[in-house]
Amino acid sequence: MIIGIGTDILQIERLRRSLRRFGAGYLEEMFTPQEIAMPQVTLDAATHFSLGFCAKEACAKALGTGIDADVDWFDIEIDYRTPSPRLMLSGGARTRLEFLTSAGSVAVPQLSLGVAGGLAQAIVIIATAD
């Protein structure tokens, strides 16, 4: 059963300009130290973090909240250590997911990322197996 679907799209150049203007402090507002330290093997930093930004926004939308006082940027973390990036939820995001999930069910957010034409996009589908 589908619990939520979220999508987000961002012009990579927009994030690139913000990185030039605000530096690492800009990333520290949205990404955990582990996410910032993760090596960007095949992508430049602006593309990498644009995808991460979109993933977090899409997940928050799939949870039905957006980024707000209850679901913070740091409550949604992207784990790039696996062949396909995974979302790990904590804090308010985990609480919201548990609220949306039926008793006895397990829900896991599925993440799809893409880049084309100077745009980064993420789609998140949260579903249970029942």
Binding-site entries for Mg(2+):
8, 57
Measured distance CA(36)–CA(39) in Å, rounded: 8
Which residues make Cβ contacts (< 8 Å) with residue 120, sequence separation at least 6? Answer: 9, 10, 12, 15, 47, 50, 51, 53, 54, 113, 114
Q: What are phi and psi of 31, to 5 degrees?
A: -120, 145
Annotated binding residues, written as ranges, equal 8, 57
Burial of 101 (0-12, 13-18, 19+ CB in 10 A): middle
